[in-house]
Amino acid sequence: RNMTEIEWKTVPAAVWRPNQGRLRPIALVDPIRLVELIGIDRQKQAVIDNTQRFVDGRPCNNVLLWGARGTGKSSLIKAVFNHFCEQKLRLIEVFKSDLYYLHDIVDQIRDLPYKFLIYCDDFVFAENDHSYSTLTTVLEGSIEAAPDNVLLYATSNRRHLVPQSMQDNLASEVVEGVLHLADAVEEKIALSDRFGLRLSFHPINQAQYLDIVDSYFADYGGDRSELHRMAIRFSAERASRSGRTAKQFYNAFAGDPKITESPDQYHLE
């Protein structure tokens, strides 16, 4: 099936299926909204502004969101997409293992009358994985100019997408007071540099975590001190305090009266 058969007028998103050699249409994208994302206002506004420039046809940047797990990186991309979807913005998810197909995907969409975000989650590469080299021409073009209707929005748990080793640094030297990095280091840092907008996400404190919990339990009518005590125990037993943990707590206990009736009887698995 040719990828251009997708009815982008009615299909908001698609995911690349390499075994089928096609994009599979997605009728319903995760409905998360920007207002639901708490504690990342700076990052949120930066991605909104960049995406607005993109849909307006103005200069804009590929985006890399990096930092601690569960801090809202993927949710922000999906929420921004939902915000701009009505402005002929479309979303295509490509898994890191399928980056070799990126050229084929871009060739099929570069002349369409829509703007496309290529979304790649958990964007990180092993020491000997050179599939990242495929991105160079997609991000900056080759003899053919990079398409003006395609941007890459990626998330990663680390700032530099390709790991560096001590061996890489052995050829680095200081010349007249200026550090000249070894070629191997330059190559690995260069991938991150091709993302014009790079935003960091850091672990949240307890107060921020409880604010997110409260946003999920907006209609909760019980004693919030008990709700907060349960939420803190929930995060402590998972050694994780993040927006993701808050959502998992909500999924586990939303609507359950035992939180306020007998919280001490709860054993959190």
Cα distance between residue 219 and residue 187, in whole Å = 51
For residue 150, the one-letter residue type is V
Which pLDDT score is estimated for 1?
42
Question: What pLDDT sits at residue 133?
Answer: 65
Report the 10 Å Cβ neighbour count for 133. Answer: 13
Residue 3's H or E segment, with its range, is none
DSSP 132-158: GGGHHHHHH-SSSPPPTTEEEEEEESS
- For residue 4, give the nearest of 99, 103, 111, 90 by alpha carbon: 111
Asked if residue 71 lies in contact with residue 204, where contact means CB atoms within 8 angstroms, the answer is: yes
* Rounded distance between C-alpha atoms, residue 78 and residue 254, angstroms: 23
Q: What is the tens place of the pLDDT at every residue in 158-198?
A: 655 555 444 444 444 555 555 444 444 455 556 677 788 99
- The pLDDT, as a whole number, for residue 103 is 86
Tokens for 58, please give them.
């103005």
**E-only strand ranges, 47-165:** 63-67, 89-93, 115-120, 150-156
Where the chain has pLDDT below 70, the residues are 1-4, 124-142, 158-191, 257-269
